[in-house]
Structure 1
């Protein structure tokens, strides 16, 4: 009887393995490479020689950019950095003072000029499954993204891609000559949850003008570029 039972179990295991599935147990410490995440999140840019986090936004044609608008990372459950109560200054005033009348702030999302996002009702998200301290911001990101099976989407369900010129942007449908349309993940590194592409967390910001505006790339395309990491920004409320 015992011998027969052992054979039955062995055959069952072999059958499962043959079907391409081996049951595994996911532990909390295995969250270092997340390819699917339940909740939407924002993105921020951190230069490698600076702890300042700049808020990333998406313009109408799907390109990702950032200017001088910063966010304060209030990490949970333990602090990543100290935050002053007034650390989130008004970007319009700061940029106007620094760059003068030439400064142009973001004014539209994909296909909708002067679009202002409406948040109603507010919804609280549960990030308790995350194992490490994570960056929470107490403001509402204007652009949120989702990750499913290694594919990154924006709110219009356009696909996050690295296109032929190495720029990071969203397209619907994805460009046929895009270099990467999948392989995205969230990894924990350097005290933050970071966006990764094929396990690489190094990206580049490249200036497009003299007014503090940058576009994002997966490679250095010139002397106007700086190495960056892309921080995952979790919202307390949506």
Structure 2
């Protein structure tokens, strides 16, 4: 079964919009695990507009499943990850002002930099993952830099699937097959939803984990958080 890691950034966004501690981020993290999610994901950004760096620290005793921290490996982020020591760190090349992640790494151009960062994280016992587009050259580059896993950036698939173009899965299938051949673990995330997750999962060989936040929280407004977590788990079997 593919693991579900719930990204709780949107809970932090809602909390921060009003001040105070409603909704309670730590309670939501505890609840999604109680409901069956096998992981919790956060993506702190330099301006802390949703997840705060202190949230990352406060979540340590709460997350008893897999703890995944995503972000651009600037010094402040690297220091945070080395302090918190999550299960997994996912490196994402997002700009400071990006609303959301919008591209994968060029693993060839940034090979030396990524090698250094990954070596440091792995020496501290933290599993590493690299956010990449479904481009074979980038998958091969990811292998060269020594990452444990890749996270396939799935926005393009989700867009095409929404238009009824199921062939949009093809680059992801090819990328997954290559990753499997190279011994890389496969994660995926971005715009995956209850509408498209089953099709994606059924077509991606060796899919270990999906990280879902925006869609899952939005769907929960109508269906309830516990129901939605379990709906994803059923589709990921």
- Tell me if TM exceeds 0.5: no
Q: Looking at both structures, which has the greater relative contact order when contacts are Cα pairs under 8 Å and sequence separation is at least 6?
A: 1
TM bucket (normalised to shorter chain) is: under 0.3
Which structure features the higher share of strand residues?
A: 1
Normalising by the residue count of structure 2, what TM-score does the alignment of the two structures yield? Answer: 0.25
Highest Rg: 1 or 2?
Answer: 1
Normalising by the residue count of structure 1, what TM-score does the alignment of the two structures yield? Answer: 0.25
Which structure features the higher share of helix residues?
A: 2
